[in-house]
Amino acid sequence: MTHEAPFGNTFALLTGLGPAAIAVMRLRGPAVSAFLDHHVRRRRAASASGPRVGDIWHAELLDASGVVLDDILVSIHGLSPTWDLRLHTHGSPWLIRRCTDLLLQSGFVADADPAATLWPTTDTLAAEAYVLLPRMLTYRGAEWLLAEVPRLRDALRQLLDLSDHEAQRRLCQELSARLAIVDWFIRPARIVLVGPPNAGKSTLANALADETASLVSPVPGTTRDWVDIPGQIRGFPVTWIDTAGLRDTDDPLEAASVARTRNVLRSADSVVVVLDSSEAGLDSGRAFLSVYADLSPACVALNKVDLGVNSAEVLVSLPPPWRSRAARVSAMAKVGLDALETLVLDGLGRDEQALSASGAFTERQADILQSAVSYRDNTRFRSLISSIIGQ
């Protein structure tokens, strides 16, 4: 059931929270007319006949001061007085927040269950999955979520058949604990690439993301600030963060970049140290290790193996805890990336085998399972478990 403001003025984000190429926001209700007047400026004059169902406008989204926030498309699906239209914006999380603020200020309320009208169902577990589905950032996440519906239903029926309380309690806790898997697909893991200048971090970031997002140059210090590059590892969403090279420097601009790199490390979910394993990079690598040996990287990328050098000398120079996490790679030739990604996933705790196990995928389900653990009364226990399924 949707929550609607007086006169039914609602909005719903029909796509994920981003970052993404586009975002689609659905607006319904009489307040749409005023929102169009104040916050949407068509790139071409409106036709004399006015808006029609099926129209697609090229327009600009304006803030309360008339400043352009984005270049958008508007598609008309229903007309006054109820209205039904879509705002097709760019998928920046910042832009989604600004658009949401504008709608709230314009008298709209968020549709509490936008997916209910997109995928109608009387199945409680399926309905919860459909609400969550737009937040899945990768195709693998969507596949996992939809497959989880029958798996969880079967596990809950198994719970209802158990008579041993300890077995019930153990299974409840296992199912509840797997709620954490949802986060693997709705929040990209932040993976920071660090290392000395000219180790090949930008080239590696571009190779891992399979796109050119960071400027590449043989000149040390080219990257002056960190760069976010969206990507995925085997269907798990990630953000690769290319950073400025870490070294002592008298250049004030480069020193500021190094300071920002240190700051971004604090927000990292995982760290990949990138070292130049060629003869030319040995000195800068030693200087880096002398200062940053206290890092705990998920992976140490011994880069530039395409130059035909032996990286054994670099491997021996690594701190002992780092050696088992080393991967010989060539960012330029895209060699060794699979081994690097395996180490990163292991460091993040992304267990691919866990995706085939049943588990809770909403907080409602997990909370009920946790509550059921404390009930020894079988009638009450069965009632709680049945409520997850919607029986």
Answer yes or no: is pLDDT of 183 > 80: yes
Q: Are 209 and 232 in contact (CB under 8 A)?
A: no
Q: Which domains does the chain have, with CATH numbers?
A: 6-118 (3.30.1360.120), 124-178+357-389 (no CATH), 185-348 (3.40.50.300)
Q: What is the mean pLDDT of residues 344-363?
A: 95
Backbone angles phi, psi at 193, to 5 degrees: -95, 120
Q: What is the mean pLDDT of residues 33-61?
A: 83
**Three state DSSP letters for 65-129:** CCCEEEEEEEEEEECCCCCEEEEEEEECHHHHHHHHHHHHHCCCEECCCCHHHHCCCCCHHHHHH
Peptide bond before residue 19 is cis, with ω within 30 degrees of 0? yes
Q: In this structure, what token pair is assigned to residue 207?
A: 């190779």
- Give tens-digit pLDDT for 254-308: 556 666 666 777 788 999 999 988 877 778 888 888 878 888 999 999 999 888 6
Single-letter residue type at 339: A
Answer yes or no: is pLDDT of 220 > 50: no
The pLDDT score that the predictor gives to residue 15 is 80
Mean pLDDT is lowest, of 40-54, 102-116, 171-185, 218-232, for: 218-232
Mean pLDDT is lowest, of 14-23, 136-145, 231-240, 339-348, for: 14-23
The pLDDT score that the predictor gives to residue 216 is 44
> 112: pLDDT confidence band, cut at 50, 70 and 90?
low
The pLDDT score that the predictor gives to residue 208 is 92
For residue 235, the Cα-to-chain-centroid distance in whole angstroms is 11
Average pLDDT, the chain: 84
> 368: pLDDT confidence band, cut at 50, 70 and 90?
very high
CA distances to 131, 344, 390 from 12, in Å? 11, 35, 25
Q: How many other C-beta atoms can be found within 10 angstroms of the C-beta atom of residue 339?
A: 15
Answer yes or no: is pLDDT of 214 > 50: no
Q: Distance between CA 388 and CA 149 in Å, rounded?
A: 11
> 151: pLDDT confidence band, cut at 50, 70 and 90?
very high
22 versus 59: which is more confidently predicted? 59
Q: Distance between CA 171 and CA 184 in Å, rounded?
A: 22
> 222: pLDDT confidence band, cut at 50, 70 and 90?
very low
The pLDDT score that the predictor gives to residue 288 is 84
131 versus 350: which is more confidently predicted? 350
> 113: pLDDT confidence band, cut at 50, 70 and 90?
low
The pLDDT score that the predictor gives to residue 116 is 52
Residues β-bridged to residue 162: none
Q: How many other C-beta atoms can be found within 10 angstroms of the C-beta atom of residue 114?
A: 19
**Three state DSSP letters for the chain:** CCCCCHHHCEEEECCCCCCEEEEEEEEECCCHHHHHHHHEEECCCCCCCCCCCCCEEEEEEECCCCCEEEEEEEEEEECCCCCEEEEEEEECHHHHHHHHHHHHHCCCEECCCCHHHHCCCCCHHHHHHHHHHHHCCCHHHHHHHHHHHHHHHHHHHHHHHCCCHHHHHHHHHHHHHCCHHHHHHHCCEEEEEECCCCCCHHHHHHHHHCCCCCCCCCCCCCCCCCEEEEEEECCEEEEEEECCCCCCCCCHHHHHHHHHHHHHHCCCCEEEEEEECCHHHHHHHHHHHHHHCCCCCCEEEEECHHHCCCCHHHHHHCCHHHHCCEEECECCCCECHHHHHHHHHHHHCCCHHHHHCCCCCCHHHHHHHHHHHCCCCHHHHHHHHHHHHCC
Q: In this structure, what token pair is assigned to residue 302?
A: 């011994």
Q: How many other C-beta atoms can be found within 10 angstroms of the C-beta atom of residue 14?
A: 17
